């Protein structure tokens, strides 16, 4: 069995971000093992909030190929601002045995953190469902 050594440095920034692409990449590279082969995947300059971003698709393709040993990001919000999407991404990463390192959250790869995030995502989905139902009732009764 071939040992996985590829680490993905996922960088996502746009003009209004406090942390530039270069600053994020430097910080992310600093937490990746020195012997790793680093592939930088960047969504910089694109103000896209959807989960179908080209760079995110490239990241998922590499993860599914099985060559990725680790993923490093500056902040979890760089992967997704949606709790549901983030929870799904973290589950996918964990199921494939990929190590996650986050500059701003050193404990982000622990199972208890992922469990907490999953619970928040479930709460978020329930809240959105209730809010949508309430809005429909208000429109109907208006």
Q: For residue range 72-116, what is the model confidence (pLDDT) as tens digits?
A: 999 888 888 777 788 888 888 888 989 989 998 876 666 676 667
Domains of the chain, each with CATH number or no CATH: 6-141 (3.40.50.1390)
Q: How many CB atoms lie within 10 A of CB 20?
A: 14
Tell me the pTM: 0.73
Rounded to an integer, what distance in angstroms lies between the CA atom of residue 142 and that of residue 137?
A: 8
DSSP label of 13: -
- Report pLDDT for 70: 94
Contact 110, 139 (CB under 8 A): no
Q: For residue range 8-28, what is the model confidence (pLDDT) as tens digits?
A: 999 987 666 667 888 899 999
Picking from 60, 67, 109, the residue whose alpha carbon sits closest to that of residue 89 is 60
- Report pLDDT for 37: 94
Rounded to an integer, what distance in angstroms lies between the CA atom of residue 92 and that of residue 72?
A: 15
pLDDT mean over 35-47:
82
- Report pLDDT for 11: 92
Contact 32, 101 (CB under 8 A): yes
């Amino acid at each position: 069995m071939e040992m996985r050594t590829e680490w993905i440095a996922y960088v996502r920034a746009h003009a209004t971000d406090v942390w530039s692409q270069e600053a994020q990449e430097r910080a992310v590279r600093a937490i990746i093992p020195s012997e790793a082969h680093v592939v930088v995947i960047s969504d910089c300059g694109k103000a896209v909030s959807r989960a179908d971003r080209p760079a995110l698709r490239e990241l998922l393709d590499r993860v599914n190929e099985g060559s990725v040993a680790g993923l490093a990001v500056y902040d979890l919000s760089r992967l997704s601002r949606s709790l549901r999407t983030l929870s799904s991404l973290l589950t996918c990463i964990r199921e494939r045995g990929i190590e996650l390192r986050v500059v701003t959250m050193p404990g982000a790869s622990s199972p208890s953190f992922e469990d907490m995030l999953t619970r928040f995502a479930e709460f978020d989905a329930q809240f959105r469902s209730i809010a949508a139902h309430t809005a429909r009732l208000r429109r109907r009764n208006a």
